[in-house]
Structures are given as structure tokens and as C-alpha cells.
Structure 1
Amino acid sequence: MVERDTREHDPRDLAPDNAGSTARGPAGRREKNKEDKLRRIKEAARELFVSKGFDDTTIRQIATQAEVGLGTVFIYAANKRDLLFLIANEGLDEVAGAAAAAVDPDAALIDNLLAVFRPHYAFFQRQPELSRLVLREMTFYDSGAQAGSFRKTREALIELLGEAVRLAAERREIAIDETAAFVGWTIFCIYQVELRRWLSDGTVDLESGLDRLRRALLLLIYGLGAPPRRGG
């Protein structure tokens, strides 16, 4: 059942920026108040999604635990799934930046790929229960502002993998008949399967997860006709 926005907003959430008796003071307090409410909403959602399960948690329960009006939650997320992605998106920009910076034009392909995937594995390791929910919901759900942001991050990762493949092909480390972009997509598919398998493991050990991913990626690289190299 879809929960509707009943507009139980705190009036301060929607107050115009020029409201109040001074130019900057009230606006600054309103921003701080909004940030605090958003923090409480995310903390309540995170706790309830883990303790009660995503399917059994309602937006109303989240609003109650966060001590905000139901309509206030809808300011930040269109629905429950969007709220899940709002939580998941925290820190993803930083992860994407670290992954992009890790690509070395002179490094072996396997080294570049693992350097890209390491910060992603570390990110999902921080909150494995929520990570499982996010990956499950992302399979067939891609609407909403927050899900869209998550999808854009995913697309940027695929492009980065294609760039790593292109660099390796230019150095003649690998020989490919397909485009670098398609090979990058194939690598991403392997990563997605391995990530889900790893998160389903009770230990969620970072190094063991990356080692199994490394084995799968080496199988693909050797299948492309690449000879064994350092880092492999």
C-alpha cells in the first residue's frame, strides 16, 4: 500500500528565506533545523529498516521515531524506497572520487580494477544489512530522485571500468574485439554478482571478497588473450 503525503509539515521546513526579523539569523537557524530533521529521519529509517525489515517498515513509523511530521519525510524522499537510497547515497560521491583517482594509466588492468572496486567494497561493508536491501530494491526500481542519483553513480562506475579497459588495450596488455565500454559493462556485471555473493556471506570480510573478485576478473582477462602479468 502506498503511503500518501498528508502534508503534516513543520511550518519551519517551508518558511521563505526572508522570513524573520533579521536577514541571516533566522535563515541560518532554519537550515540547521532542516539538517537536524534530515539526520533524524535517516537515522530512524536506517534503524527501522534493519530491525523490522524494509517491507515491514512504514513511512509513518519512520516519521514517528524521527519525531517529525509525516509530510516532512516526503520533502526528502518520494517514498520508502527513495528514502532507502537517500541513506545509501551518503558517501557515494567520495567513493566514486577515490575510485577514479585510483586508476593508473601505467598499471596492469587487474590492479586498476581492484583499485576501483576496493573503495566500493569498503563502502558496502560499512552497513551490510542496508547494502543487501539497496541491491535488492535497485534490481527493478529506478524511479525517484534518490534512486536516480544512485543510478548515475553506477553509470559513472561503468564508464570508469571502460576507461581502465581502454588504457589496457592501448598498451596492448589485452586484445579486444568488442568496445572498451562493453567490456567495462561485462566487468561491472561480474562485480555485481560477486558483490551480492559476498554480502550474503555472514563474515563480509573485505580481503576475501576482493580476492574472489580478483579470481573472477583474471578469468575474464585471460579469456581476452592477455598473458600473465605482475599484479595477477
Structure 2
Amino acid sequence: MPTAPQRVGRRERNKQEKLDRITAAASELFAEHGVDEVTTQQIADKADIGTGTLFLYAKNKGELLLLVQNSTYAEALVEGKAAAEEVPGVLDAVMAIIGPVVACNRKQIDNGRTYLREMVFGDPAEPHHREALSLTVQTEEAFAAILQRDQRIDAETAATLAHVASAVMFISMAATVNIGRTVDEILDEIRGQIQALLPR
């Protein structure tokens, strides 16, 4: 006999509501002013909660940025994977995934670069950091699946190439020399480097 779906309790609803308010407040303030110009007090005030409550959901501003950016990265990855399904060529399909990820990261360049720095240097014990790392793993898995469309590339090689392709993408987005470059220019750079990895 199937079990009835469990109703979410009031406490869990309240926690989710606070998290949603924090996410919305941080997202709006970071987008408007940039992460470096926003304080945790401003986020708490906008979310209409105390700073002590805020720190129950994210222990510092870096974690708040991860919270906000993870959702846009996840959406971009879903969009890219769907687009890649429609693209026959291996390189073009990999780039179909990368395109939306780069575009979402560059909406606010300083925030995007800080997000990447938090991914690398943040505390992996923190939940929003773990989620960010999980997104990078999902990205590499998507790359590897596409790379195996080429029958010359076995699963182990595909995983290695996917890891390198992911590194190329992240370094290109984070590099100081690319601050003034457009999304298309960065995508052209990434495409050239990934093309050099692929068998000819």
C-alpha cells in the first residue's frame, strides 16, 4: 500500500521561507552593488531577519554568494545540457553546455570571479560550497558523456578530458586578463583550447 506524501511542517516551511528571503535579498543587493560593496547586515535588513539568523543559513558573505550563484549556475547547466542534446558535433555540444555557464558567470563580472574564488578556496564543509563543487562534478560528467560520442574516446579518457575542459572554462572565466573581454571572446578562447584537446 503506497504511503501518503508527508506534509511539510510549519517549522520547515518557516525555514524555507527565511532561506528564500535571504536568497532574494542577497541576489538583489549583489546584482545592484557587487559582492564587495554589500554587508551581511544589509542583507539581513533586506530579508527582515536578524544577523544571527542569517548566519544560521550562511556563515559568511562568501557562502551567501555561493547560495545565490549556485542557483543560476544550476539553471545554466540545465539549459546547456538540453541544448547539447540537439547538437551533433562533440566540440559544438561541449560548447553548448559552456555557453550558458559563461554567460551567467559574467552577468556581474566581479561577483562571478568571486564565486569562482570561493569555489576553489572556500570551506568544503559548508553546504553551499559542497553544492558548488557538486555542480562542477555534474558539469564534468556532462562533458564526459558528450566526449564519449567519439568512439575513439573511452570512458577513462573522457573523464580526464572533461576535467581539463572544466579547468579551461573556469580559468578563462576567472583570469584577470579576461575582465574586459566579452562572453563571445571568452567562449572563442575556450573553444580553441578544448579543440586542441580533442583527437584529430
Report what 2:59 is aligned to: 78
Identity value in percent: 23
Compute the displacement of 1:140 (Å). Answer: 2.0
State the secondary structure of the residue aligned to 1:78: coil
Larger mean Cα displacement after TM superposition, 121-130 or 103-112: 103-112
Structure 2 match to 1:201: 178
CA contact (8 A) 1:113 1:164 kept: yes
Residues in 2 aligned to 1:104 and 1:63: alpha-carbon distance in whole angstroms: 41
How far apart are the structure 2 equivalents of 1:185 and 1:214? 15
Measured against aligned partners, the alpha-carbon deviations of 1:102-127 in whole angstroms (never above 9, x if no partner) come to: 22487222111111111111111212
**Shift in alpha-carbon separation, 1:159–1:91, aligned structure 2, 3 A:** same
Q: Pick from 116, 119, 135: which aligns with 2:100?
A: 119
1:218 aligned partner: 195
Bigger radius of gyration among the two: 1
Q: Considering fraction of residues, name the structure with more helix.
A: 2
On the 8 A contact 1:46/1:87 being kept in 2, the answer is no
- Establish whether residue 17 from structure 1 lines up as the match of residue 10 from structure 2: yes
Note if contact 1:63-1:73 (Cα within 8 Å) is conserved in structure 2. yes
Aligned to 1:185: 163
For 1:106-185, list aligned pairs within 5 A: 107-141=88-122, 142-168=124-150, 170=151, 172=152, 179-185=157-163
The answer to whether the 8 Å contact 2:19/2:57 transfers is: no
Shift of 1:87: 1.5
Kindly provide the amino acid, as one letter, of the partner of residue 83 in structure 1: L
Distance 1:160 1:80 in 2: 30
Q: Matched residues in 2 for 1:218 and 1:212: separation?
A: 10
Structure 1 residue 81 displacement after superposition = 2.0
Change (3 A) 1:136 1:36: closer
Q: Choose from 16, 19, 25 the match for 1:40.
A: 25
User: 2:147 & 2:27 partners in 1: Cα distance?
Assistant: 37
State the Cα distance separating 1:46 from its structure 2 match. Answer: 5.2
Indicate the RMSD between aligned Cα atoms, in angstroms. Answer: 3.1
Structure 1 counterpart of 2:106, one-letter code: Q
1:11-60, Cα deviation, whole Å (9 max, x unpaired): xxxxx728xxxxxxxx79x97676445422443455565453xxxx6534
Question: 1:125–1:204: 8 Å Cα contact kept in structure 2?
Answer: no
Shift of residue 177, structure 1, vs aligned partner: 9.8
Residues 1:118 and 1:37: Cα distance change in structure 2 (over 3 Å):
closer
TM-superposed deviation, 1:144: 1.0
- Aligned CA distance change for structure 1 residues 103 and 140 (closer, same or farther; 3 Å): same
| 1:36-93 deviations in Å (ceiling 9; x for gaps) | 45422443455565453xxxx6534543465531122124213332111011113222
Residue ranges of structure 2 left out of the alignment (5+ in a row): 1-8
